[in-house]
Amino acid sequence: MTGYASAQHGASAAGAETEARAPQSRRLGLEIRSVNSRFLDLSFRLPDELRAMEPALRSLLTARLKRGKVEVRAALDTDDSNTLQDPPARLLQRLNSLQDSVRAWLPSAAPLTVADALRLCANAHSGTEDWSEAVPALAEEALTALLAAREREGKRLAAMLLDRVKQLRTLAQQAVPMVPLLVEQQRQRFMERWKEAMALTDGATLPEAARDRALTEATAFAIRIDVAEEITRLDSHLDEIERLLKKGGEVGKRLDFLIQELHREANTLGSKSAALDLTRISVDMKVLIEQMREQVQNIE
């Protein structure tokens, strides 16, 4: 199911250098996006500093998610809104020493600019942070919010599916009285043909034999178009779908199976159809079932 959640965490990026008068504040932002998918498909977009956390995040998500194409994004931002802090003296001395070493081997190398020095000092600070506890806690917070959003969507999907179940029941009820009516109409046609045949044969065929043949054909026709079993099974599947939707929990795969069975019964109903109205009911059923199939694939 679709869903989105995010969480923020602030941290103090105090470096190893005590000369820093005020460490920069870093924020960790984490987002989890989920779109519909029949299976669980996880992807991660993490900065290099958090790449080692991917196995822990994957384990956390697979324990609580069963379906969906899920993307996890994390970003580390430095709060630069405060006054720019002076770089630690030791870092500047270290940079100067490294620059002298490089230029000893590469005399033509360009000297470091102020911007280069500030950026390298900031990177040196950021590498000292430990996010091993903050990242799982933040992911747990975002995942809980995501599950809540998916639960709300699940309730909307359940309401839609229950509406389709109601429509399917209505179509099934319309089909039930059609079969006896069709059988009676066909029996009348057979009897009319028997009378016509008797008039043409001029007594060459025994009336009882011809009449028995007509009734036999009518009976075979009745058996061929009887859809009582299909309607009964269809009602049974609809009952089970209603029960699962009201029960909740991980019912997606069970619903997948029931939708396939509904489609099978609707197909059989159409293949046995002997009237346009019954064919229309079969087609309408398959349209509703296909709508249900598309949504059921998104339910865990």
What token pair was written down for 249?
């929990």
Beta strands 3-12 and 40-45, pairing class: unpaired
DSSP state of 86: P
Q: What is the pLDDT of residues 220-233, one digit of tens each?
A: 655 555 667 778 88
What letter represents residue 273's amino acid? S
Residues in the chain with pLDDT values less than 70: 1, 10-26, 78-88, 121-129, 179-227, 272-275
Is the domain spanning 150-296 CATH 1.10.3470? The answer is no
Token pair of 178, please?
């059609």
- At residue 32, the pLDDT reads 92
Give strand pairing partners of 3.
34
Q: What whole-number distance in Å separates Cα of residue 247 and Cα of residue 207?
A: 62
Residue 122 φ then ψ, to 5°? -65, -40
How far apart (Å, rounded) are the C-alpha atoms in residues 190 and 196? Answer: 10
74-89 pLDDT, tens digit per residue, is 988 755 544 455 666 7
Cα–Cα distance measured from residue 235 to residue 68, given in angstroms and rounded to the nearest whole number: 30
Q: Domain extents for the chain?
A: 3-149, 150-296
Taking phi over 0 as left and psi of -120 to 50 as alpha, with beta for the rest, 25 belongs to beta
Q: Is the dihedral of CA 293, 296, 298, 300 positive or negative?
A: negative
Return the pLDDT at 212.
64
pTM of structure: 0.56
**Residue 175: what pLDDT?**
81
d(CA 60, CA 256): 26
- The per-residue pLDDT for 290 is 92
